[in-house]
A and B are shown apart, each in its own frame.
Chain A
């Protein structure tokens, strides 16, 4: 349990919070690189996303005549809410005061806040594509959010806490008993993560074919620093889900004390886990095709079903056992 008044814990929280935007483009670049190699291409450097962000930041931002003030505020809201959500996820250590400030439900709420503003921004200019993207995004999230909450509630019920730090600490102290509920929750949360971060087979982050876009359709009218913020926020969200899956289900190496050695160990462990997860994502994106939009509900219902099975197998099999 984090000591909420300790300055060193807050300092560590600040470092972790800064690591998220710093590392997020790297993960995106890594996934792209692995995918390129799997497709027999050389691919751009893993640092390419940093260059793209820099390019966008330096460019002039253009705003449509028909845009309202909300259009210019939305990138900041999306970025800030996503970043704060990321800052509550234990990256290196479980001793995280921000996880006490905001638990898993708040994390889901902050991501929902970012999503609502993203969708509103899509509808603001009044083009057909923006509204289309917003409508699809809200449909996908309406089905993905219950699955995500069910998956994290399985963990929360096991740990008797909705605090992410406590959940991971409980799992670490659990001596890695293989629980059926965790397997279901892991499968459910992975499917949700694919949907929420807009990856194949739900959405294609590299598409520019108008009728298949979801995320791209909403940010279509953005340029310059506004677009940079939106893209950066999407990368942070990918890293957030990666860390969530990596550190909850495979908590090896997460530091439980603030000693420098264990922190370095934690960093090395999380980088390794993310590299593996990113590789798996790239492989999945290489072998899978994007689904038709109306296949996505079946995909997400599967996620919800898995997550619910996890929760039920926990309350039926594991409570009191």
Chain B
């Protein structure tokens, strides 16, 4: 496909998303319109984005266009290249499955009081905003699209606004989105003042002094890091993402966080261009902190959607670890490990979009069938919802980075990049990179524990409440969407070499060099650097697993007694156990809570139950609230109390202030 066609396809995707928003306006009269028109349009939008993304990645070039919109002297520029193409593909893959998932999910809302106009309309706007952020080629359009994305998602977070918690989450989200947006705007300001205007092309050509470049980097990292939910600015994320309807959570966690990654890559690697290794150190440190904190807090959660949101913090941390490694290697003159780390970051971003999308859709289908988000009430769902159970298991194995699934591939690539640390000249860097690797390994193991807990508590064992015991499998659309994402997780795990062949266009375009040897041994072998250094053959690992299983399973049946007798659980000979005697999600996490006790703010209380007994309650608080958010909020309030003194209610005083302001401004202008 020619790159110009890809740009038109991307334009079509934006138009379809906007069309879906417009069509939803009719939902006030005909609620079915969301289900039968808006959602299919979203699905088509996803397909168009996939086609555009694949076209851009395969052709490898770039195409630009100027839209007759915007200000007279500042028209909007759009551009598609390999980097934009990759993120279009990512957005499209999740959006396409949402088109399949949405109708059945929305059907449940048609009877309720929630406004479908708001749901459908803002979903369409949200997607159009995300697509335009990726396509924008000047700071003006970028910021407008960014704000459309943020505002539309604000309304989606506040969709079920009857609950005070959701309103509070939405407000916090709006606040953080704006602080972040401001920081990005200032970053653009630095870049634009050195370049010749707001177009990305002139920013790319601009020559920044190292100090200004570092300032721009700091602002950009703050802005996009806030949006990506990096610790310690993450506290809004686990509040906001779970509040939205489940497929919106999938879009926010799976896709919108990646748009922040896109922005970071576009500005730092592409527009600033001349990277410095101390930035890499900062990114590596923040990424490691986010990965570890996210993993630990995810393990502590009992609300399934909140747990998944914390796990997004952790995964974005891993993406930024890889990006930090890329910055370090590139500035130290090692382009090959740099490109390897860069590809690992992109691969993990794509993987996370798929498995987090899958897991949120799974959580949504549990919510749809049981109206339950609390893990402590679940249990035995595998037998009630076998397909969701199977797909959710694939999602858990993928996110826990187990071979031969997709999460393992990106973790393997990140480790391989980190193991090239011996090439670095500075001993400090050589020793800090391995520490980040240790953090990554610890994170991986904690994630495995987290998802053993999730799957073991929700899908295995016995139901812990009546409504979960009566769960019904969801409609086919819900299952098919999860099946698609699960299949993608498996495929991306089995054929990493093909995927990297596709992604490789991005580092070639942005960094000027990709991984020349990645596919040197054919599609069977993943070779990051040289065949002697490391190799992984996912298809052969999977084949060997299947082959050994094909040997062992019939072998066991032949040797052993054929019969399997059903009986009561043995349980060391104790009295028959009831569902309430099972291990709970809180109990499962207790050993790790105790080991890492310093990090959590644990409140344990005894609450009387209706039947006269006592209930033991544990609340696990996020220390970033006490350490960062609340002091900041108090500071703002204190400042506001001082400013309030100006408002005396007397018109003459106001006129006086106006005069003073005018005089000061005149003085500044004349000076």
List the interface of chain A (C-beta within 8 A of B). 1, 57-70, 72, 76-77, 79-81, 83-84, 87, 98, 100-103, 105-106, 109-110, 112-113, 115-116, 119-120, 122-132, 134-136, 138-139, 141-146, 149-150, 153, 156-157, 160-163, 166, 210, 220-221, 224-225, 228-229, 293-294, 297, 304, 308, 311-312, 315-316, 319
Q: Is the CB of A315 within 8 A of B422?
A: yes
**Known A102-B537, A294-B594, A308-B434: A134·B567 in contact at CB below 8 Å:** no
* In contact, B460 and A120 (Cβ under 8 angstroms): yes
Structural contact, A59 and B561, CB atoms closer than 8 A: yes
Q: Mark B429-455, 1 if CB is under 8 A from A, else 0.
A: 011001101110110111011011101
**Can you spell out 30 A-B residue pairs with CB atoms less than 8 angstroms apart?**
A1-B532, A60-B563, A63-B566, A65-B566, A68-B460, A101-B544, A102-B537, A103-B534, A105-B411, A105-B412, A105-B536, A110-B541, A112-B445, A112-B448, A123-B461, A124-B456, A126-B461, A127-B582, A128-B582, A129-B572, A131-B456, A135-B589, A139-B591, A141-B448, A149-B438, A150-B434, A163-B533, A220-B572, A221-B569, A228-B560
Q: Shortest beta-carbon distance, A235 to chain B, in Å?
A: 15
Interchain CB contact under 8 A, B419 and A153: yes
Cβ-defined contact, A161 with B572, below 8 A: no
Whether the pair A128, B559 counts as a contact (CB closer than 8 A) is no
Other-chain residue from A72, A83, A127, A316 in contact with B571 (beta carbon distance below 8 A): A127
Contacting A at CB under 8 A, from B436-490, are: 437-439, 441-442, 444-446, 448-449, 451-453, 455-457, 459-462
How many Å lie between the Cα of A294 and that of B594 in the bound state?
8
Contacts of A162 in B (CB 8 A): 415-416, 419, 533-534
With contact pairs A149-B441, A220-B571, A304-B438 given, residues A63 and B462 touching in the complex (Cβ less than 8 Å)? no
Closest B residue to A125 by beta carbon equals B569
Does B588 make an interface contact (CB < 8 A)?
yes
From B264-272, B334-342, B397-405, B610-618, give the one contacting chain A.
Answer: B397-405
Within the assembled complex, what's the spacing in Å between the Cα atoms of A180 and B560? 50
Set A81, A120, A132, A308: member contacting B455, Cβ < 8 A: A120
Given contacts A81-B545, A131-B587, contact A160 B431 (CB under 8 A): no
Binds A, one of B108-116, B246-254, B549-557: B549-557
**Interface assignment of B307: CB less than 8 Å from any CB of chain A:** no
Contact between chains at A210 and B402 (CB < 8 Å):
no
- What A residues does B556 contact at CB under 8 A? 57, 76, 225, 229
Chain A residues contacting B397 (CB-CB under 8 Å) are 113, 116
Interchain Cβ contacts within 8 Å, total number = 283
Kindly list the 9 A-B residue pairs having the minimum CB-CB distance in the complex, ordered from nearest.
A131-B583, A123-B456, A126-B461, A138-B449, A146-B441, A139-B591, A225-B560, A64-B569, A145-B445
CB distance from A204 to the nearest CB of B (A): 16
In the bound complex, CA of A62 to CA of B548 (Å): 24
Describe A's contact surface by its main secondary structure.
helix
Instruction: Report B460 CB to chain A, min CB distance, Å.
Output: 4
| B583/A64 in contact, CB under 8 A | no
Q: Is the CB of A63 within 8 A of B444?
A: no
Residues of chain B contacted by A210 (CB below 8 angstroms): 572
CA of A6 to CA of B449, assembled, Å: 40
For the complex, give the distance between the alpha carbons of A311 and B444 in Å: 19
What is the CA–CA distance of A38 and B79 in the complex, to the nearest angstrom? 76
Asked whether A113 and B402 contact (CB < 8 A) given A120-B456, A139-B449, the answer is yes
Q: A81-B545, A160-B533 are in contact. Are A139 and B592 (CB under 8 A)?
A: yes
Residue B564 at the A interface, CB < 8 A?
yes
A127/B533 in contact, CB under 8 A = no
The segment out of B7-15, B46-54, B366-374, B377-385 that lies at the interface is B377-385
B564 and A131 contacting across the interface, CB-CB below 8 Å: no
In the bound complex, what is the Cα–Cα distance between A225 and B554 (angstroms)? 12
Q: How far is the CA of A54 from the CA of B471 in the complex (A)?
A: 42
The answer to whether A109 touches B533, judged by C-beta atoms less than 8 angstroms apart, is no
- Residue B638, interface by CB 8 Å: no
B590 at the interface (CB under 8 A from A): yes
Selected from A79, A122, A126, A163, the residue in CB contact (under 8 A) with B535 is: A163
Rounded to whole Å, the gap between the CB of A137 and the closest CB of chain B is 9
**A297, B572: Cα distance in complex, Å:** 27
Chain A residues with CB below 8 A from B570, complex form: 64, 220-221
Q: Taking CB as reference atom, which chain B residue is nearest A57? A: B560
Evaluate contact between B402 and A61: CB separation under 8 angstroms: no
Q: Which of A59, A106, A210 has the most CB of B within 10 A?
A: A106
Contact of B588 among A61, A84, A134, A141 (CB under 8 A): A134
B535: A residues at CB distance < 8 A: 100-101, 103, 163
Decide yes or no: A126 and B379 within 8 Å by CB, A112-B400, A308-B435 being known contacts: yes
Q: Are B583 and A135 in contact, with the CB atoms below 8 A?
A: yes
Chain B min CB distance to A174 (Å): 16
Most buried by B among A76, A77, A293: A76
Q: Which residue of A lies closest to B539 (CB)?
A: A101
- Contacts A119-B452, A131-B587, A315-B434; is A224 near B561 (CB within 8 Å)? yes
CB of B74 closer than 8 Å to a CB of A? no
Residue in B closest to A300 when the chains form the complex, CB atoms:
B595
Measured in the bound complex, the distance between the Cα atoms of B381 and A70 in whole Å is 12
Is B540 located at the chain interface by the 8 A CB criterion? yes
B565's closest neighbor in chain A, by CB? A62
Residue of A58, A65, A80, A160 near B422 (CB, 8 A) is: A160
A125 near B402: Cβ-Cβ < 8 Å: no
CB-CB nearest in chain A for B556: A225
B residues near A294, Cβ cutoff 8 Å: 591, 594-595
Kindly list chain A residues whose C-beta atoms are within 8 Å of the C-beta of B589.
135
- What is the CA–CA distance of A293 and B461 in the complex, to the nearest angstrom? 25
Contacts of B563 in A (CB 8 A): 60-61
Interchain CB contact under 8 A, A166 and B567: no
With a cutoff of 8 Å between Cβ atoms, the chain A residues found around residue B559 in the complex are 57-58, 225
Enumerate chain A residues within 8 angstroms of B656, measured Cβ to Cβ: none
- CA–CA, A156 to B541, complex, Å? 21
CA distance A143 to B439 in the complex (A): 11
**Alpha-carbon distance between A316 and B430 when the two chains are bound, in angstroms:** 7
Expressed in whole angstroms, the minimum distance between the Cβ of B354 and any Cβ of chain A is 18
Given contacts A106-B536, A145-B445, A210-B572, are A119 and B561 in contact (CB under 8 A)? Answer: no
Residues on A with beta carbons closer than 8 Å to the beta carbon of B448: 112, 115-116, 138, 141-142
Q: Which residue of chain A has the shortest Cβ distance to B379 in the bound complex?
A: A126
Residue of B nearest to A317 (CB): B427
Does any Cβ of A come within 8 Å of B236's Cβ? Answer: no
In the complex, the chain A residue whose C-beta lies closest to that of B382 is: A68
B577 within 8 Å of A (CB atoms): yes
List chain B residues, Cβ under 8 A from A141. Answer: 445, 448-449
- The interface residues of chain A lying within 8 Å CB-to-CB of B427 are 315-316
Chain B residues, CB < 8 A from A76: 549, 552-553, 556
Q: Is residue B408 within 8 Å, beta carbon to beta carbon, of the partner chain?
A: yes
Q: Is the CB of A143 within 8 A of B421?
A: no
Are A65 and B568 interface neighbours, CB within 8 A? yes
**Is A123's CB under 8 angstroms from B567's CB?**
no
- Taking a contact as CB atoms under 8 Å apart, the answer to whether A102 and B536 are in contact is yes
A164-B319 Cα distance, complex, nearest whole Å: 27
Q: Contact at A101–B590, with CB atoms within 8 Å?
A: no
User: In the complex, are the beta carbons of A224 and B560 less than 8 A apart?
Assistant: yes
List residues of B (388-402) whose CB comes within 8 Å of A's CBs. 393, 397, 400-402
Does B598 touch A at the CB level, under 8 Å? no
Name the B residues within 8 Å of A1 (CB-CB).
531-532
Closest-CB distance, B317 to chain A (whole angstroms): 15
Instruction: Given A116-B452, A125-B569, A319-B430, check contact A62 B564 (CB 8 Å).
Output: yes
Question: What CA separation (Å) do A311 and B61 show in the bound complex?
Answer: 42
Would you call B430 and A127 a contact (CB within 8 A)?
Answer: no
A110/B403 in contact, CB under 8 A: yes
- Quote the shortest CB–CB distance from A75 to chain B (angstroms): 9
Within 8 A of A (CB), among B126-180: none
Q: Is the beta-carbon distance between A66 and B569 smaller than 8 angstroms?
A: yes
